[in-house]
Each structure stands twice: as C-alpha cells, then as structure tokens.
C-alpha cells in the first residue's frame, strides 16, 4: 500500500463528512474511495463485518469503522494538535456536543432529506445511484438510487419523525440554527480558532444533509449564513488544527449555552431513558452475544410535542465519553469549574449519576461490559 490513508465513504453520507473533515483539518494524507456496490461486496463487508461507512484503511492495512473510533485511532497516530481540549470545561463541552451532533441532529438531518421530496428527491436519488454504480447508464443509476435510498428513508419513522411532531422538530431546528448563527458570527469554531471534537460531531449532520441537500441547504443559507461559513471552514483543505487556538482560561462562550440547554431539554431525557430500557433488555436477554441496534421504543418530547421513537443503544456508547471524562475529574475541577456550568445549562446531576450500563465495541458490534 501507499503512505496514504484511504477513506471509504460518500459525499452525501452523514458520518463520512465527519471523518473527511477530520482528515482535512488534521492534515492527514488520504485518498477517498467511493463506496460503490462492488466496494461494499469486495472490501467493506469482508473487512468490517458490517455495512456501514465511513471506513478508513491505514497504510499498514488496519481497517477501522465508525467515525469516533477512526478519530481516536488517528489521534494516537498523530498526537500533535489534538482535537480534544485539555481543560475541564472545554473538553466536557466538546464531548457533549459531539454526542449531540452525532446522535440527535440526525433527526432534522433525516427529516429534511426525506420529507421534502419535491426539492430533494431527484438530487438525493441521483447521489445514491451515482455512488452505487458510477459507470452505469443514468436510468440504471436512478433505479438503484431509489432502491438504496428507500432503505434509508424507511428509517425516518424509527427516529420518531411523524406528521404530528414535524412542526415541533422544525421549530427546534430553526431555533438551533439561530443559536449557531449567533455563535459563529463571533467565533470561527465552537471553542476558538480551531475545531474541537464537538465541531466534528456537528459537521456530520450539518454538512452532508442539512447544507448539501437542496431543501435544508436553502433554509440554512437564508437563516444562518454564518453557519454556512463555518461549514465551509470545516470542509476546506486548510489544516486548521495545526495553527488555530482554543480560547484562553478554559472559556466556554456564552453563545454555546443555549445549544447545551437545548441538548439538556431534548436529548438528555432520551439518553437517560435509553439507559433505563437497556437495563430491562439486559435482564430479559442475559445470554445475548451483542446488543441489538434497536431494543424497543419509547416516548420523547420536543417543543412540548410527544412522539415515539426507537430505542437506539449506540447513543449510550457515545454518551459514556463525556460521563467518563466528568467522573475522572478531580473534585476541585468538578465543583469549581464544571458543576456550575452544568447547573446553568440543565445537566445538573446527570453526569454525576452516570450510567447503569457500560458498552464496548468489539469487532464493530456493541456488547455490554461487566465493568
């Protein structure tokens, strides 16, 4: 193999955008391989055992699946100019916002992609088709695009997106855009002049779906031009991790507090209820070799409207990261710096209590840990 890393992804893939942005901002030499049907059959599935992108193949032929796992492995290989702040408040906030982007903003991302067919359908089906079979005639690409895209569209109801709560979901997202607009009018990235892991969590939904797709892209350009500029900074080739700085004195900008508060009110209850339901699932499935990707359904509330969605345990594997970081802090860092911030944004006691269950990823599947 060459000295280049290989990214197997797609331009319209939500999590591919996170991995691609990291490789660019970090200055990691890489080439991108389009994840065609052939590539899935011959490489991705045999080497990872799953059907998900992105996948990174290292120059020494290690194959890594999952964006967070990819980033953490590459952080070990390229430890300089880390994406993780070293100060308590900034690191915790960046970890929380990674979870929020990865696991919660997929809701507006999927809604705006699949529930605006008049504006999006031709574009997105063409994207799926040209990725799957780039050398095939257009009519075959269109057929394949609809077939493959339909599988992703079918996941929309599982995320809890229904006619009943769509106005509430859109209202929440537009308010979030306003908060992000206010922040990025004043700051290049979340915590200063270089991106943190939180920026990479947010770019996943805010690029591939909410910026590139026609309907939400039009909305973002109208409502939040500063967010569009941040998307541009996150996706260009400038290795800004190598030159930028985070804010001094562990500062968390006031402009991030409304975003954290929105996460606490909408996303945190889902995380906590998922933990509770995973405990029940564990009791009923004591010998299960792995945790299923969906383990039932539960209610959630956005803007006062309650709906039902699938219980997705993977979010807990992500949420373990800020929980573990918080619980590993010394008492002074918690009480003097972090706890007042958590209290202010509505996370009071959530990280202190921790989680009932611990998850590990083994061979790209989730398993319960006894630790």
Picking from 29, 53, 77, the residue at the C-terminal end of a domain is 77
Give per-residue pLDDT as tens, 102-157.
Answer: 999 999 999 999 999 999 999 999 999 888 888 888 888 888 888 888 888 999 99
Whether residue 145 sits in one domain with residue 172: no
What integer best gives the mean pLDDT of the chain?
95
Q: Is 195 in the same domain as 337?
A: yes
Identify whether residues 105 and 123 lie together within a single domain: no
* 140 and 100 in a common domain: no
The first and second tokens of residue 347, run together, are 């996370």
**Residue span of the structural domain in which 127 resides:** 116-155
Asked if the structure places residue 197 within a domain, the reply is: yes
Q: At what angle do helices 88-99 and 197-208 cross, to 10 degrees?
A: 20
Band the pLDDT of 240: cuts 50, 70, 90.
confident
Q: What is the DSSP letter of 209?
A: T
pLDDT at 256 over 80: yes
Token readout for 184 is 């990025």
188 confidence band (pLDDT: 50, 70, 90) = very high
Let me know if residue 82 belongs to a domain. Answer: no
Pairing between strand 55-57 and 305-310?
A: unpaired
**Within-domain flag for 199:** yes
**CATH number of the domain to which 67 belongs:** 3.40.30.10
Q: How many domains are there within the chain? A: 3
DSSP 244: -
140 domain-assigned? yes
**Shared domain check, 170 and 151:** no
23-45 per-position pLDDT tens digit: 999 999 999 999 999 999 999 99
Same domain for 133 and 238:
no
The answer to whether residue 328 is domain-embedded is yes
Residues 173 and 57 in one domain: no
% of the chain residues with pLDDT over 70:
99
Q: What is the pLDDT of residue 1?
A: 58
Both 224 and 279 in one domain: the answer is yes
pLDDT of residue 133: 84
Q: Are residues 321 and 176 in the same domain?
A: yes
Question: Is residue 127 located within the same domain as residue 194?
Answer: no
Residue 9 falls inside a structural domain: yes
Same domain, yes or no: 105 and 229: yes
Domain for residue 83, yes or no? Answer: no
Q: What is the pTM of this model?
A: 0.96
Whether pLDDT at 2 is above 80: no
Q: Are 114 and 14 in contact (CB under 8 A)?
A: no
Of 24, 53, 77, which residue constitutes the final position of a domain?
Answer: 77
Structure tokens at 335: 């009480």
- The DSSP line for 55-77 is EEE-TT--EEESHHHHHHHHHHH
Are 334 and 91 spatial neighbours (Cβ–Cβ below 8 Å)? no
Q: Would you say residue 371 has pLDDT above 80?
A: no
Q: What is the pLDDT of residue 139?
A: 81
Closest C-alpha among 50, 63, 166 to residue 108: 166
Please state which of the ranges 60-69, 114-123, 148-157, 304-313 shows the lowest mean pLDDT: 148-157
Evaluate whether residue 212 is within a structural domain: yes
Q: Check whether 22 has a pLDDT greater than 70.
A: yes
Lowest mean pLDDT among 59-63, 274-278, 284-288: 284-288
Q: What is the model's pLDDT at position 319?
A: 98
Overall average pLDDT of the 174-194 stretch: 98
If asked whether residues 126 and 242 sit together in one domain, one would say no
């Amino acid at each position: 193999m060459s000295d280049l890393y290989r990214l197997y992804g797609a331009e319209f893939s939500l999590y591919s955008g996170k991995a691609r942005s990291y490789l660019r901002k970090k200055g990691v030499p890489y080439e991108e391989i389009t994840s065609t049907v052939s590539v899935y059959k011959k490489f991705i599935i045999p080497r990872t055992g799953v059907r998900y992108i992105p996948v990174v193949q290292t120059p020494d032929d290690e194959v890594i699946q999952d964006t967070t796992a990819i980033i953490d492995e590459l952080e070990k290989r390229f430890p300089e100019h880390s994406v993780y702040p070293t100060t308590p408040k900034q690191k915790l906030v960046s970890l929380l916002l990674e979870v929020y982007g990865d696991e919660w903003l997929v809701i507006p991302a999927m809604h705006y992609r699949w529930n605006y067919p008049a504006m999006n359908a031709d574009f997105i089906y063409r994207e799926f088709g040209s990725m799957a079979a780039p050398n095939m005639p257009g009519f075959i690409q269109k057929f394949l695009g609809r077939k493959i895209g339909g599988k992703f569209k079918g996941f929309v109801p599982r995320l809890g997106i229904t006619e009943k709560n769509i106005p509430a979901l859109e209202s929440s997202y537009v308010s979030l855009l306003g908060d992000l607009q206010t922040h990025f009018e004043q700051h290049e990235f979340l915590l200063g002049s270089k991106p943190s892991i939180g920026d990479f969590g947010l770019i996943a939904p805010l690029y591939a779906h909410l910026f590139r797709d026609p309907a939400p892209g039009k909305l973002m350009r109208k409502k939040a031009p500063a967010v569009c500029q941040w998307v541009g900074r996150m996706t260009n080739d400038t290795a800004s991790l190598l030159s930028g700085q985070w804010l001094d004195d562990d500062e968390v900008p006031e402009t991030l507090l409304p975003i954290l508060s929105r996460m606490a009110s909408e996303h945190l209850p889902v995380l906590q209820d998922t933990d509770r339901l995973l405990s029940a699932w564990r009791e009923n499935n004591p010998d299960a070799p792995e945790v299923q990707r969906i383990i039932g359904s539960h209610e959630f509330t956005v803007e006062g409207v309650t709906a039902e969605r699938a219980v997705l345990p993977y979010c807990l594997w992500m949420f373990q990261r800020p929980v573990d970081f918080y619980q590993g802090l010394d008492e002074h860092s918690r009480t003097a710096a972090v706890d007042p911030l958590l209290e202010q944004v509505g996370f009071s006691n959530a990280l202190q209590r921790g989680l009932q269950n611990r998850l590990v990823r083994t061979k790209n599947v989730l398993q319960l840990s006894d630790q």
